[in-house]
Amino acid sequence: MTTPPDPAVLYPDVAALGSLAEALRAAAAGRLDTAPAASPDADPLLYASVPSTLPHREPLRIRASAHERRWSVRGEEPYQESCLVEGETDDLAQVARAARAWRDGDSLDDIRRAAPFTHLTGRFEVPDLDPVRLVESEWQGMLQEARELEYSWQEQYQALVEAAYAEPALRALYPFTSHWTLRFSSTTRPSLTLGSPCLSARGDGTYGVGTGFITPNLGVFPSAAEAAALAVRHLPTGFGPVTLGRPLKP
């Protein structure tokens, strides 16, 4: 394994200011001077966080690569810790623009316009934690993820997600994956409720339905639509409507 270079060598401009947080303030040309941006004492050149004025946003996390001059950002919502925006760039000024927009409470679309390197995950913000909206947000994130996958089985997996979304009974449940097997919960994150059938896209081009995420013991079908329809018929009685999952931490 290659030993990473000294961060001060990769980021001499950041080292000259003492921390990534200070470098972000400098790159923001005064727009972050009042924000409590911070870097940890352990790795001040590699990490920083910038809080938002919106209570339904976690602080934007900024991380510098230890192997090349590059920064990544990640913005989450606090209840589920689901990612809303992420991205990588070698332009610190772009990172500062993303941090400003996140801090100022700009919409996700406006953050993307202000800092084009950022990528929206498809999820949208639900400040009031309405379970119905959280379900739809998660579905939108899953649909976008399926469209953007860069694997040989992308088309088959996308067909599976879209077929499940087309079934109203499944669309009303909270979707999640385990080992790329599509599952459904009657509660949102952070505490999911198991018990629904599992849908999988198989390597031979067929689609499986099972009571567990490994064995398609309920059936194997040539089309995703047939698999989704069987999953609906095997939903437990009273599974839903979706309620808010309880936080796992105090």
What is the spatial distance between Cα 51 and Cα 40, in angstroms, rounded to a whole number? 14
Q: Is the full-model pTM beyond 0.75?
A: yes
Q: Note the pLDDT of residue 220.
A: 96
Which is nearest to 227 in space by CA: 235, 215, 219? 219
What is the spatial distance between Cα 27 and Cα 19, in angstroms, rounded to a whole number? 12
Cβ neighbours of 213 (radius 10 Å): 18
Within 149-237, residue ranges assigned H as helices are: 154-166, 168-171, 224-233
Q: Note the pLDDT of residue 249.
A: 59
Q: Note the pLDDT of residue 214.
A: 78
Which is nearest to 89 in space by CA: 65, 58, 66? 65
Q: Which residue in this structure is represented by tokens 């989704």?
A: 228
Q: Note the pLDDT of residue 248.
A: 63
Q: Note the pLDDT of residue 250.
A: 53
Q: What is the pLDDT along the chain (250 residues), one digit of tens a residue?
A: 678 889 999 999 999 999 999 999 999 988 888 878 999 999 999 999 999 999 999 999 999 999 999 999 999 999 999 999 999 999 999 999 999 999 999 999 999 999 999 999 999 999 999 999 999 999 999 999 999 999 999 999 999 999 999 999 999 999 999 888 999 999 999 999 988 999 999 989 999 999 987 789 999 999 999 999 999 999 999 998 999 998 765 5
State both tokens at 246.
Answer: 């309880």
